[in-house]
């Protein structure tokens, strides 16, 4: 691999994360695929109900596509639309009990470190964590 260290590090990090994909495991655990932004919406709703407009902004899609995503999640019984308490013309989208259980499953699967992490010593893992926290500090 050629290039400057930043390019090489990014390429390696990206390849590592991509190789650890958990889509198949998630699909098997949930009984359906979370593609098409559904996983992002499910995760965002873990913090509480959102309007369709807020969902669209949160995940960076247009309102019609946010509606498609919510419709799909609703068809699986993961979310429900509720009247907005301050504006009867608007709806809020909230997790159902089934949606909360699904979110817990998703979080457990996605937070489990890949086996390759065991090749690093504790000190190396702490160094990696420090570096990644430094890189993501502005995103918080």
- C-alpha to C-alpha distances, 42 to 66, 73, 121, nearest whole angstrom: 12, 8, 34
pLDDT band at 90 (very low <50, low <70, confident <90, very high): confident
Say what the pTM is: 0.81
- C-alpha to C-alpha distances, 29 to 4, 6, 88, 102, 133, nearest whole angstrom: 40, 36, 36, 9, 30
**What are the backbone angles phi and psi of residue 120, rounded to the nearest 5°?**
-90, 145
DSSP code of residue 113? P
pLDDT band at 140 (very low <50, low <70, confident <90, very high): low
């Amino acid at each position: 691999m050629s290039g400057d260290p930043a390019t090489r590090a990014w390429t390696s990090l990206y390849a590592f994360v991509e190789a650890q994909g958990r889509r198949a495991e998630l699909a098997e655990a949930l009984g359906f695929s979370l593609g098409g932004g559904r996983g992002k919406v499910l995760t965002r709703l873990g913090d509480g109900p959102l309007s369709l407009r807020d969902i669209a902004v949160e995940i960076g899609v247009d309102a019609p596509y946010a509606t498609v995503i919510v419709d799909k999640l609703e068809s699986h019984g993961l979310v429900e639309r509720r009247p907005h308490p301050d504006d009867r013309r608007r709806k809020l989208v909230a997790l159902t009990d089934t949606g909360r259980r699904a979110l817990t499953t998703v979080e457990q699967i996605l937070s489990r470190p890949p086996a390759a992490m065991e090749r690093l010593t504790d000190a190396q893992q702490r160094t990696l964590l420090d570096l990644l926290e430094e890189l993501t500090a502005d995103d918080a």
